[in-house]
Amino acid sequence: MNYSFQFADVFAAWPLLLKGTWSTIALSMQAMLLGLVLATACAWGKTAGPRPLRWLIQVYIELIRNTPFLVQLFFFFFALPALGLRWSAYTAALTAMVVNLGAYAAEIIRAGIESIPKGQIEAGLALSLSRLKIFRFVILKPALKTIYPALTSQFILLMLSSSVVSAISADDLTSVAANLQSQTFRSFEIYIVVTVIYLALALSFSALFRAIYRSALNYPDRR
């Protein structure tokens, strides 16, 4: 193989790569937080809500989990504007990521909720706790300790999947890489650097989540 590596043009564009990296981080963090809220609400509705609500949530979960993320992204960016709902590429990307994560994480959280012994819930009822307090303190917090590894793995997968949003010209690291490739024609070098950046992001998120687990969830029981 007679190939001359030339990283000069790639490294010269480090401000653009840094901006794209930050956009990916910001988009992923917002999607994680909003998606977790949506997933928690869906998990609660599926386990404790009325039958019509449980049915609607199940339809939503099955629809999202059995269709490609790229199709969902195109639906929010290209299909909904035909009905008069117009928004930016960033907002469409964020909405698609939140909806996607909500469906996957809802099943993870539901499994954690159902792992809580019924006796703990009955004890909360005996103490006259409201259903919301029982869900928050008796069910959700212990369940999070059980499902935390699976949930954080889903978060990291979401961050890596954010590269797809470049298909609708949303600003992210992959979109920046595509623009640089069209300008410099150094595809090999550009995507080596981008691969390293995504790897660094994934490892950094993993380290952050482990730190959160140690400090916030894996505390000793002081009762």
Q: How does pLDDT run along the chain (223 residues), one tens digit per residue?
A: 677 778 888 888 899 999 999 999 999 999 999 999 999 899 989 887 889 999 999 999 999 999 999 999 999 999 988 888 888 999 999 999 999 999 999 999 988 888 877 787 778 777 777 777 777 777 777 888 888 889 999 999 999 999 999 999 888 999 999 999 888 888 888 999 999 999 999 999 999 999 988 886 665 444 4
Q: Is residue 222 part of a domain?
A: no
Q: Is residue 33 part of a domain?
A: yes
Residue 1 lies in a domain: no
Domain count, the chain: 1
CA-nearest of 170, 210, 209, 191 to 26 is 170
Distance from the first to the final alpha carbon of the chain = 66
The Cα 97–Cα 39 span in angstroms is: 12
pLDDT of residue 4: 77
Domain with 83, as residue range(s), is 8-217
**Residue 120, in any domain of the structure:** yes
The answer to whether position 135 is within a domain reads yes
Whole-prediction pTM value?
0.86
Residue 59 counted as domain residue: yes
Residue 54 has what pLDDT?
Answer: 92
- Give the pLDDT confidence score for residue 221 in this predicted structure: 45
Q: Is residue 32 part of a domain?
A: yes
In a domain, 223, yes or no: no
Q: Looking up tokens 């140690």, which residue turns up?
A: 214
Residue 129: predicted pLDDT: 77
Q: What are 19-23's contacts with CB under 8 Å, separation 24+?
A: 19/171, 19/176, 20/171, 20/172, 20/173, 20/174, 20/175, 20/176, 20/177, 21/173, 21/197, 21/201, 23/171, 23/172, 23/173
Domain CATH number, residue 169: 1.10.3720.10
